[in-house]
């Protein structure tokens, strides 16, 4: 039976009639200003190499990375996040290259501050790019990641990055108490203005696999389930978020993003801090792989993924889809 007009006063389609009306009715937006570009560093000069596991994404030597950052910033990207792929022979059990002031990340930070001073430089705090075993912390003889020993190493790494001029440190290690010790160390060394963006809810995720290829690390044993979170849990994520806020975090982040939209939305309700989300390597790579097979359109699906993450409540998004989104926005 067909309804008469009289019977149907409410027609949601009126708000979708044409693009101009759809614009007015649009509830959230995605702009270049919402995006953080994770960038990968390699040693050497004038070097760029494509990453097999992440179509379209490259590793850069410091000079090339600075140029790339300049281009991104000129297009409205406010911040980048640095990850190093260091030579395997420099890696050791403790990850001691993490606090070498002449290391790849501190060197890049100094150059970036010189050449692109208005860009926000974020650096990941964790030991996995630097340890021979690939874990995020210091491992004891029972093959466990030792929380409190790792905190000392993270503080050293944080102070070296802060001294190089890093704007925001992003601890991604998931050790207990790290935000507090990093905050205290920064403050007692005169780095009161260096911020902490805590990966408060970082899940033990299979979606990180392409990233491990990008920084050329592999777990020598075990997995990360004793420090990263169980994908089944949300109340635990809220607990982690509130603890990090209490310990002095300036911003919080959920990672990965799409399988955890409920976590983003719930944490957003529970905290007054800005909440970000990390659309991780696997989330990017699976869309790119499907695109390469002709199964879907990468640009459209990446945009839809990111707008969904914003709709869930994310204030900013770390993503590898920067170029596709910039193309679409322009």
Q: Is 172 in the site for ligand PBG (CB under 6 A)?
A: yes
Q: Known catalytic residue: 113?
A: no
> Interacting stretch for ligand PBG, rule CB under 6 A, among 60-68, 122-130, 156-164, 304-312?
122-130
Q: Is 305 in the site for ligand PBG (CB under 6 A)?
A: no
Q: How far is the CB of 158 from ligand PBG (least distance, A)?
A: 14
> Interacting stretch for ligand PBG, rule CB under 6 A, among 100-108, 121-129, 188-196, 232-240?
121-129
Q: Is 208 in the site for ligand PBG (CB under 6 A)?
A: yes
> Interacting stretch for ligand PBG, rule CB under 6 A, among 39-47, 123-131, 241-249, 303-311?
123-131
What token pair was written down for 141? 């003889």
Q: Is 161 in the site for ligand PBG (CB under 6 A)?
A: no
Q: Known catalytic residue: 202?
A: yes
Figure out which of the listed residues 124, 167, 245, 247 binds ligand PBG, where binding follows CB under 6 A: 124
Catalytic residue among 91, 224, 255, 268: 255
Q: How far is the CB of 91 from ligand PBG (least distance, A)?
A: 14
Q: Which is nearer to ligand PBG, 128 or 167 (CB)?
A: 128
Q: Is 254 in the site for ligand PBG (CB under 6 A)?
A: no
Figure out which of the listed residues 128, 240, 244, 247 binds ligand PBG, where binding follows CB under 6 A: 128
- SS3 track for 8-42: CCCCHHHHHCCHHHHHHHCCCCCCHHHEEEEEEEC
Figure out which of the listed residues 116, 154, 181, 280 binds ligand PBG, where binding follows CB under 6 A: 280
- SS3 track for the chain: CCCCHHHCCCCHHHHHCCHHHHHHHCCCCCCHHHEEEEEEECCCCCCEEECCCCCCCEEECHHHHHHHHHHHHHCCCCEEEEEECCCHHHCECCCHHHHCCCCHHHHHHHHHHHHCCCCEEEEEECCCCCECCCCCCCECCCCCECHHHHHHHHHHHHHHHHHHCCCEEEECCCCCCHHHHHHHHHHHCCCCCCEEEEEEEEECCHHHHHHHHHCCCCCCCCCCCCCCECCCCCHHHHHHHHHHHHHCCCEEEEECCHHHHHHHHHHHHHCCCCEEEECCHHHHHHHHHHHHCCCCCHHHHHHHHHHHHHHCCCCEEECCCHHHHHHHHC
Figure out which of the listed residues 198, 281, 305, 319 binds ligand PBG, where binding follows CB under 6 A: 281
User: Which residues between 222 and 251 bind ligand PBG (CB under 6 A)?
Assistant: 224
Q: Which is nearer to ligand PBG, 71 or 209 (CB)?
A: 209
Q: Which is nearer to ligand PBG, 72 or 126 (CB)?
A: 126
Cα separation, 133 vs 47, in Å, equals: 26
> Interacting stretch for ligand PBG, rule CB under 6 A, among 1-9, 110-118, 124-132, 295-303?
124-132
CB-neighbour burial class of residue 132 (10 A; exposed 0-12, middle 13-18, buried 19+): middle
Q: Which is nearer to ligand PBG, 251 or 280 (CB)?
A: 280
The mark string for 136-155 relative to ligand PBG (x by CB under 6 A, - otherwise) is: x-------------------
Q: Catalytic residue positions?
A: 202, 255
Binding site for ligand PBG (CB under 6 A): 124, 126, 128, 136, 172-173, 208, 211, 224, 280-281
């Amino acid at each position: 039976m067909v309804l008469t007009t009289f019977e149907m006063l409410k027609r949601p389609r009126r708000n979708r009639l044409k693009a101009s009306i759809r614009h007015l009715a649009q509830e959230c937006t995605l702009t270049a200003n919402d995006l953080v570009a994770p960038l990968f560093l390699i040693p050497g000069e004038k070097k760029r190499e494509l990453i097999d596991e992440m179509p379209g994404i490259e590793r850069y030597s410091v000079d090339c990375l600075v140029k790339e950052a300049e281009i991104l910033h000129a297009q409205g990207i406010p911040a980048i996040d640095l990850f190093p792929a260091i030579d395997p022979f420099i890696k050791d059990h403790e990850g001691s290259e993490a606090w070498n002031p002449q290391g790849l990340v501190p060197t890049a930070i100094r150059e970036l501050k010189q050449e692109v001073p208005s860009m926000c430089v974020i650096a990941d705090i964790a030991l996995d790019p630097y340890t021979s075993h690939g874990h995020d912390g210091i491992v004891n003889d029972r093959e466990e990641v030792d929380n409190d020993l790792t905190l000392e190493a993270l503080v050293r790494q944080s102070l070296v990055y802060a001294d190089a001029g890093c704007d925001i440190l992003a601890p991604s290690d998931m050790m207990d108490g790290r935000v507090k010790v990093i905050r205290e160390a920064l403050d007692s060394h005169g780095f009161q203005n260096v911020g902490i963006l805590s990966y408060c809810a970082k899940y033990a995720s299979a979606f990180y696999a392409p990233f491990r290829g990008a920084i050329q690390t592999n777990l020598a044993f075990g997995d990360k389930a004793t420090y990263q979170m169980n994908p089944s849990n949300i109340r635990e994520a809220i607990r982690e978020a509130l603890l990090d806020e209490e310990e002095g975090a300036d911003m919080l982040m959920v990672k990965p993003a799409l399988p955890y939209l409920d976590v983003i939305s719930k944490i957003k309700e529970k905290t007054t801090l800005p909440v970000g989300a990390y659309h991780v390597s696997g989330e990017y790579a699976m869309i790119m792989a499907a695109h390469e097979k002709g199964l879907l359109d990468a640009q459209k699906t990446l945009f839809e993924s990111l707008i969904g993450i914003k709709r869930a409540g994310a204030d900013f998004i770390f993503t590898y889809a920067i170029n596709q989104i910039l193309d679409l926005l322009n």
